Amino acid sequence: MGTTGPSSINKQEDIEYGMKFPIFTIKDMVNLQLALIDSLNIEQLFSVVGGSMGGMQALEWASSYPERVYSAIPIATSYRHSAQNIAFHEVGRQAIMNDPNWQKGNYYNTKNKPRHGLSVARMIAHITYLSEGAFQEKFGRDMQSKVLSWGFDADFQVESYLRHQGISFVDRFDANSYLYITRAMDYFDLSHSYDGDLFLAFKKTRCKLLIVSFTSDWLFPSSESLAIVKALNKTAADVSFVEVNSDKGHDSFLLEVKDLYKILSGFISGAARKKGI
């Protein structure tokens, strides 16, 4: 649900693009944002803030258009996807593409959508958003009822929760878009154009940066953030790093973590004072 995607109408054929839509990248997303601020005659953004894929975009801004950004706050993210993250995405994509109703992406004008495949993909992804501690605290081994089905119904509350997450997701997200967006994250690698030397990607970066990670985030662990900080330090960049203590996993940046609010407020206020605004 963005500007243009697989569900948009291809005006040349008067039908949805489907899988004919071109593969796009994180940099393509940033280039589109750049076109927007150019059209609004905005010379420089005060701060670019984003978590997860949004954090990738914040890093791309700092690397590709450093003069257009005064500060950047990448949160719970990385300069490239790990093999494990690519693997999780691939399982989700296969769940969608092996749904008989996917029909090679040409399902828009049919009654049956790949709901089951997209639902399973979301369930898989949602497991990676939480930590083991968060699952244990929220659900443990709590049951839905005192009577077991002795079968494959959702006996455990965590099963019911994941099924709900999957079912609710399919009503607000396009399956083909899921394929394309996860692929964009997989392809993201700021170091690729520099033969693996990440610091070269930030050689021209002069904006102030705050890198934030969370102690229980195993999808984008703090080691990923520290690799970015190390590369930025090689360029003598103005960078700060904070690891926030949270047991909520990757989703911490979307939830009420008071320390995060204080850290962001302090950084933004300080940057504003230096900017004179």
Q: Which of 241, 216, 267, 220 is nearest to 54 (CA)?
A: 220
In degrees and rounded to multiples of 5, residue 15 shows phi and psi of -155, 160
Q: What is the largest CA-CA distance in the chain?
A: 66
Element (H, E) at 213: strand 208-214
Q: Which structure tokens are listed for 81?
A: 């996807």
- Please name the residues in contact with 90: beta carbons below 8 A apart, sequence gap of 6 or more: none
- Please name the residues in contact with 125: beta carbons below 8 A apart, sequence gap of 6 or more: 88, 89, 92
Q: Which of 100, 160, 90 is nearest to 125 (CA)?
A: 90
Of 119, 217, 246, 252, the active-site residue reads 217
- Please name the residues in contact with 270: beta carbons below 8 A apart, sequence gap of 6 or more: none
**Known catalytic membership, residue 52:** yes
Query: Are 220 and 77 a contacting pair, CB within 8 Å?
Result: yes
Q: Which structure tokens are listed for 141?
A: 């081994």
Query: Are 205 and 71 a contacting pair, CB within 8 Å?
Result: no
**Known catalytic membership, residue 217:** yes
Strand partners, 16: 9
**Known catalytic membership, residue 168:** no
Residue whose entry in the numeric block shows the structure tokens 């828009």: 108
The CA-CA-CA angle for residues 234, 237, 243, to 5°, reads 90
Of 52, 78, 216, 252, the active-site residue reads 52
Of 81, 89, 116, 250, the active-site residue reads 250
Residues marked as catalytic: 52, 217, 250
